[in-house]
Chain A
Amino acid sequence: EAQVTQNPRYLITVTGKKLTVTCSQNMNHEYMSWYRQDPGLGLRQIYYSMNVEVTDKGDVPEGYKVSRKEKRNFPLILESPSPNQTSLYFCASSSLQGFQYEQYFGPGTRLTVT
C-alpha cells in the first residue's frame, strides 16, 4: 500500500530536549516536505526536499532541521524544542512532476512541548 508514515504519532516532551520525528514514504517520490498545522493558520511549510541531499527552507524554518540522506526518509529534527513548537506536524511527498498538483500526506504527529 502506497503510504507516508510518521513516528511517533504523539509526543510530549520538555523544553530543550532534542527530538526527531521520522517520515518515510514507499512511493519512490523525489519531493518531500514538512508542514505544521496550527488553529486558524492552516498548514505552513517548514522545510522541503527536492531529492536526496537537496533541502530548502519553507515559510517557518526557525528552530527546525532536516536531512535527506535516503530517498524514502525525511526526518524532522528539533534540537532544542520550545513551547511555541507545540503543534500538529505533517510530512508529505510527491513526484517531482506532481508536487505542485498533489501531495500525499502522512497521518500527523502531535507534539506538545512543556
Chain B
Amino acid sequence: AQSVTQLGSHVSVSEGALVLLRCNYSSSVPPYLFWYVQYPNQGLQLLLKYTTGATLVKGINGFEAEFKKSETSFHLTKPSAHMSDAAEYFCAVSGGKLIFGQGTELSVKP
C-alpha cells in the first residue's frame, strides 16, 4: 500500500527566499511521485513527476524535486520564491492510483 505525508500544513517564506516543501512516502513497489499545485479557485496542475531515471526532476515555474529512496522523500524546492508561488501544494504517490498527501499551503511575504 502507498501513503504520503507532507510535513507542515502551512509554510511561509519571504519573497526571494528558498522554498522547501517536505514530502515523505511509503510504497511497497517502486513509486511514481508527483507534485501538484492548486492556485486559488483553480484545479490541480502538475508541477513535476518522477517515474524512473534521474532522481532530480525539474518542473514548471522553477521548481524541482529530488527522489531519495534511502530517505523515502521527495521534497520540493525552489531557490527564490515569488509572490505568484502562493498556492497549495500536494505531493502524490502512484502505485496503481494516485494517493495524495494532506497538502501544504505556501504563503509568500513581500
Do the two shown chains form a genuine complex with each other?
yes
Check A45 against B97 for contact (C-beta < 8 Å): yes
Contacts of A107 in B (CB 8 A): 41-43
Interface residues of chain B: helix, strand, loop or mixed (majority): strand
Known: A42-B100, A42-B101. A100 touches B94 (CB 8 A): yes
Name the residue on B nearest A94 (C-beta): B98
User: What per-residue 1/0 map shows which CB atoms of A73-114 lie under 8 Å from chain B?
Assistant: 000000000000000001010000001111101111000000
Contacts of B4 in A (CB 8 A): 42
Tell me how many residue pairs across A and B have CB atoms closer than 8 Å. Answer: 51
Q: How many B residues touch A, CB cutoff 8 Å?
A: 24
A92 to B90, CA, bound (A): 15
Apart from A43-B100, A105-B36, list 9 A-B contacts with CB within 8 A: A4-B43, A40-B103, A42-B102, A43-B44, A48-B97, A101-B32, A101-B51, A107-B43, A108-B42
Residues of A within 8 A of B (CB): 4, 35, 40-45, 48, 58, 90, 92, 99-103, 105-108
